[in-house]
Structure 1
Amino acid sequence: MGEPCILSRHWPHGAAPEAAQNHRQKETPMFGSKKTNLTPLVMGQEKFDTLIGRNAEIHGCLKLQESVRIDGKVVGNIEAPKDGAISVVIGPTGEIHGDVIASRIIVAGKVSGNLHGFERVELMASALVQGDIKYASMAVEHGARLLGLMLQVEVHEASAGIDRNVRAAIEKAKSTGQPE
């Protein structure tokens, strides 16, 4: 494959200027008078050797060994090993019909399936997720849409899998619409 693609939300054809990479946004908290510095949600600068273009459509399970950016359509599950630092980025034109399991998952497009981020899950403003999300760390931009449950798991739990009692509680909440 040619040179790796560098993902940047505001600079799609290359790396963001250094000043913008270090930009910090000041916000006033809702309660209290103290100002804090918060880093805004920005799709990270990630290099991808695998890029699924907007006109591509793939049917089947993807087993990843490296990070991938998806701008096309994937019908099937996407799986990365638990011990790898692999990112799955679903761009604004990306569409997934299946589950996504990876260390880091960033969604700017559409997902009809469950997400399991061993380290982090990020939903950008344009994201639409129809499914449940398991995460160790989560970031959600204003405007992102989720039709499903969110379950935070500890890092050691994320790598070990979900406890049976938690699964039972999730299934009960799905069937009754009420948590235990």
Structure 2
Amino acid sequence: MFGINKNSNTPLVKSQERFDTLIGRQTEIQGTLRVVQSVRIDGKVIGNIEASKENAITVVIGLEGEVQGDVIASRVIVAGKVAGNIDAHERVELMASALVQGDVKYGSIAVEHGARLMGLLLQVDVSKPQVRQDQAQTAITKAKATGKS
């Protein structure tokens, strides 16, 4: 009656997602973490976190969580620290306690007041397929060689 009803389209709604993988506060992982299910990080990961584009994977960095590396997933929610780039194919949510030192690529974004970002915000059009980096580099090299674009 007195509160604001939030629906699933409202930013920063508490997710109903289930996390089968949890990196605890006292845990430190070094190396690339390739995930096939949603994961919550409350500890420290030194290395990249990668999820394939085909799966709707959410990576949550909790209040005590820290990632030193890139995070690539469908959805990324940050309450802790990320020292690396974020590539969220669908959505990024930065909580008030978030500290991100790197560029953020996103389809949609929600940012709470107080979140800190030291990098670029780059919106990608999720309706268009992205050109792969190696395809773009091949086109640039070919254009330089022929003198044509």
TM-score by length of 1: 0.68
Aligned-partner Cα distance in 2 for 1:144–1:158: 30
Uncovered stretches (5+) of structure 1, i.e. residues with no partner: 1-18, 26-37, 166-180
In structure 1, the partner of 2:6 is 24
Cα distance in 2, alignment partners of residues 104 and 129 from structure 1:
15
In the superposition, relative to structure 1, how do residues 40 and 116 fare at CA in structure 2: closer, same or farther (>3 Å)?
closer
When normalised by structure 2's length, the TM-score is 0.81
- Structure 1 residue 42: deviation in Å? 3.0
- Superposition deviation, residue 46 in structure 1: 1.5
Cα deviation code 1:67-120 (max 9, x no counterpart): 000000000000000010000000000000000000000000000000000000
> In 1, Cα distance between the equivalents of 2:97 and 2:13?
13
Question: How many angstroms does 1:52 deviate by?
Answer: 0.4
C-alpha displacement of 1:40: 5.1
| RMSD of Structure 2 on Structure 1 (CA) | 2.4
Residue type matched to 1:49 in 2?
D
Counterpart secondary structure, 1:136: strand
Q: Which amino acid aligns with 2:32?
A: C
Q: Tell me the amino acid that sits aligned with residue 47 of structure 2.
A: G
Which residue of 1 is the match for residue 31 of structure 2?
A: 60
Structure 1 runs (4+) deviating above 3 angstroms are: 156-165
1:24 maps to a residue whose letter is: K
Unpaired stretches in structure 2, ≥5 consecutive residues: 138-149
Match of 1:75 among 46, 49, 68: 46
- Which of these residues, 52, 64, 70, is aligned with residue 99 of structure 1? 70
Match of 1:90 among 42, 61, 69: 61
Of residues 109, 112, 122, the one that matches 2:83 is 112
Aligned length: 133
Report what 1:123 is aligned to.
94
Aligned residue for 1:135? 106
Query: How far apart are the structure 2 equivalents of 1:112 and 1:82?
Result: 22
Structure with the greater relative contact order (CA < 8 A, sep ≥ 6): 1 or 2?
A: 2
Work out the CA distance in 2 between the residues paired with 1:54 and 1:94.
Answer: 7
Q: Is the Cα–Cα contact under 8 Å of residues 71 and 91 in structure 1 kept in the other structure?
A: yes
- Looking at structure 1, the residues matched to 129 and 95 of structure 2 have their Cα atoms a distance apart, in angstroms, of 22
